[in-house]
Structure 1
Amino acid sequence: MKHAIAAAGEIASRLVEARDHDEPALAWLVEAARELSFVEFDVPEEADADGWLFQYGPVSWLPEPTFVVSVVRQLEVVDADGEHESYVQVQLEVRYDVDDDLAAVGPHSQWWFPGGGTSFDEWLDDVSRAAVWAGLESRSPRDRVAVEDAV
């Protein structure tokens, strides 16, 4: 059954709430993304209508300085005529207090779309091997959340 895109944020939030927040951050994020990948949404049949983004870096939109590691699912929203209207992005985030070491890491982003020659599982394996995780292993996340945005 395909779910309405409008339900994506709620579905992701339920997945996040059900996961063990004592689990190591890497495993938590990768497995939450894997679980979300099993949910089908009512998107157009085009390859770029349902994509994924792995990103990390210092952010300035939160009240305190924060370093965020996230896996984002981007879903295309179309109007009644099937024309592109917008995207909904559901972000699975692990948030850390930022310090000089994390600030120096800088931003990174890596997209994945179906049909690009790499399977989702292979891409997710690459995410789990990203160098950023070595610098985060000994740190405790401040928060683990699901966030929905329209872009």
Structure 2
Amino acid sequence: MPDSDEYLQFHCDLQYLPTPRLEVLGSHSEWWFPGDGKQLPDWVASVNQRPEWPVLESALPTAVEVYCDET
């Protein structure tokens, strides 16, 4: 947040039923911070290249949760 030491953390959690195709992917989480040296569009492009997306394209999430935390 401008002029503050506070951060807003936005989350988007997608949950799927476990299937063999999904289980082999394991787990992964991504973080982006403005000062980490990577521009947001570059970070988004790298997330879009993750191997999970082709597998998830044909699956429907069982739950979606979007929320924000303040630190």
TM-score by length of 2: 0.70
Matches within 5 A, 1:101-120: 101-120=21-40
Flag the structure with higher strand content: 1
Match of 2:19 in 1: 99
- Is 1:133 the counterpart of 2:53 in the alignment? yes
Deviation at 1:132, TM superposition (A): 0.6
SS in structure 2 of the partner of residue 123 of structure 1: helix
**SS of the counterpart of 1:108?**
coil
In 2, Cα distance between equivalents of 1:91 and 1:105:
20
Q: Which runs of 5+ in 2 are unaligned?
A: none
Q: Could you tell me how far 1:136 is from its partner in structure 2?
A: 0.7
Q: Unaligned regions of 5+ residues in structure 1, if any?
A: 1-39, 51-74, 76-88
Query: Higher RCO, 1 or 2 (CA under 8 Å, sep at least 6)?
Result: 2
> Percent of pairs identical after alignment?
31
CA shift, 1:41, in A, is: 6.8
In the TM superposition, what are the counterparts of 1:1-151 in structure 2 within 5 Å? Answer: 43-44=4-5, 50=7, 75=8, 89-148=9-68
Aligned alpha-carbon RMSD (Å): 2.6
Q: Which 4+ stretches in 1 moved above 3 angstroms?
A: 40-43, 147-151
For residues 113 and 90 of structure 1, the distance between their equivalents in structure 2, rounded to whole angstroms, comes to 12
In the TM superposition, what is the alpha-carbon distance from 1:112 to its structure 2 partner? 1.7
What is the Cα deviation at residue 148 of structure 1?
4.9
Q: What's the TM-score, normalizing by structure 1?
A: 0.38
2-structure distance, mates of 1:125, 1:93: 19
- What amino acid does structure 2 have at the position aligned with 1:115? G
